[in-house]
Amino acid sequence: MAEDSRFMVSQEGAIEDTVVKVFRCAKVVKGGRRFSFSAMVAVGDRKGTVGIGYGKAREVPKAVEKAVKDAKKQLQHVSLYGQTIPHQIIGRFGATKIKMLPASPGTGVIAGGSARAVLELAGVHDILTKVYGSTTTKNVVKATMDGLLKLRDPQAFSDIRGITVEAVKRW
């Protein structure tokens, strides 16, 4: 029984989490101000699985804990092409658009803080990004996830279009 629990811990340990941003909200009441906090968190295994979560609480650690729990429920698989993305894509959410371009090896993650956290936990090492419109943290993170989920590998394109994988790669 003890061996099973250690196995679960090692599986759970493969998923990393990063706090993208902590937001503070103040409510003015008769006795003063009441603060509440919310946290945006990204989780992933750096091998193509990533998720984002949002949690709210009266204290920062509890908000982060709730966000991590929410993010683990929303883990999604992302198509990667080596250490970059298979093709150019635009992710959208609200008033935010993020353009993501595949980059040659050694380029690194050229992205702002919000998008960088999600991309690194997804396992992307070489990418160029540009955010258009609103640069609000929540919108940028959700637009990045939207773009990553729209990615398709060459095999998926060849199946849809009825052509060979070699023809897709030349395209």
Cβ contacts of 154 within 8 Å, gap of 6 or more: 81, 86, 165, 168, 169
Same domain assignment for residues 68 and 122? no
- For the chain, what is the domain count? 2
Same domain assignment for residues 63 and 100? no
Answer whether 100's CB lies under 8 Å from 127's CB.
yes
Same domain assignment for residues 60 and 111? no
pTM: 0.85
What range defines the domain where residue 130 resides? 79-170
Give the total residue count for the chain.
171
pLDDT truncated to tens, each residue of the chain (171 aa)? 344 333 333 355 489 999 999 999 999 999 999 999 999 999 999 999 999 999 999 999 999 999 999 999 999 999 998 899 998 999 999 999 999 999 999 999 999 989 999 999 999 999 999 999 999 999 999 999 999 999 988 777 778 777 776 765 555
> 55-88: per-residue pLDDT in tens?
999 999 999 999 999 999 999 999 998 899 998 9
Q: Which of 76, 101, 128 is the last residue of a domain?
A: 76
